[in-house]
Amino acid sequence: MWNMKQTSNASFNPDPPTASEPSSSQSIFLEKSFACAVAIMAQLRAPGGCPWDREQTFDSIRRYTLEETYEVLDAIERKDWAGLKDELGDLLLQVLFYAEMAKEAEYFTLQDAIDNLSNKLIRRHPHVFANREGVETSAQVLKNWEEIKKSERAGAPNVREASLLDQVSRSLPALMEASKLGSKAASIGFDWSEAAPVFDKLQEELDELRQAIASGRTAEQEEELGDVLFTVVNLARKLGVQSEFALRASNAKFRRRFAAMEASAPETSSISELGPEELEKLWDRVKTEEREGFESE
């Protein structure tokens, strides 16, 4: 994460509002705070600002955007609300960074981006802002949202999509991309009717993976493993489960159990010195103790 105090030594001293201002001035308070952050970002990129910030480009900042996004998710999963406050600020910094660089290149301004967002939110929520009736459930809202998006794309200039799936960004994390591809295909009826048949497809893909492994052909093994993962993601979609979050939860569980296994290792030896059978026994003990602990709660 970036620390503004470490990023710049410039003598910029804005006049931020204080939290003690009356609640009736909350909108002005927020406006001043946001303007302050925008001004700081502008000075960091200005001549005489921070050398590191001035060197950054759209391409160089991308990795930090992804890192900050996952740190936001991590704070939410851990219910670390104080940490979430910091992480949301760091994520907002990414927006300010891109907007400042876009303004410098005369692509667009931050005001343009905000206006686009406001207009889009109003346009895609006619049941709220245009008094359109007949939208009472989340499912109806999502259906209308997709229809409005489709209408917008049809009227947009220079938008040519050779495939329905071109609407799914190729830059998404692979699990999310697979889920969205499945959802797009399902939108025209190309999908399993329920979750049960997906298990048959998964078994079919696992059999093909075993055959690829037996063949010893690395490229084929990679392809078949990808098919297994794609099927698992779509099984999650049919179950209404977010595969990305499910895997993150399993990662967290593995971390927790491995740490408990390390803590329960014999004092006379390091866990790295234990053999496979001893490690398996420790792992099974940790799993049993964890389950018994949950059942007793």
pLDDT value for 297:
62
pLDDT value for 49:
96
Domain boundary among 99, 129, 159: 129
Give the domain CATH number at 90. 1.10.287.1080
Tokens in use for 88?
A: 């949301």
pLDDT value for 23:
58
- Evaluate whether residue 180 is within a structural domain: no
Domain boundary among 129, 156, 187: 129
Domain boundary among 112, 129, 146: 129
As for how many domains the chain has, the answer is 2
Q: What is the pTM of this model?
A: 0.60
pLDDT along the chain (297 residues), means of 10: 40 50 70 95 97 96 91 92 97 97 97 95 86 76 79 67 85 90 93 94 97 95 97 96 92 93 81 90 92 75
pLDDT value for 169:
87
pLDDT value for 259:
93
pLDDT value for 2:
43
- Evaluate whether residue 174 is within a structural domain: no
- Evaluate whether residue 122 is within a structural domain: yes
- Evaluate whether residue 170 is within a structural domain: no
- Evaluate whether residue 21 is within a structural domain: yes
Structural domain including 74 reads 4-129
pLDDT value for 136:
75
pLDDT value for 194:
94
Q: Is-contact 238 192, C-beta < 8 A? A: yes
- Evaluate whether residue 117 is within a structural domain: yes
What Å distances lie between residue 20 and 25, 29, 99, 115, CA to CA? 10, 10, 30, 29
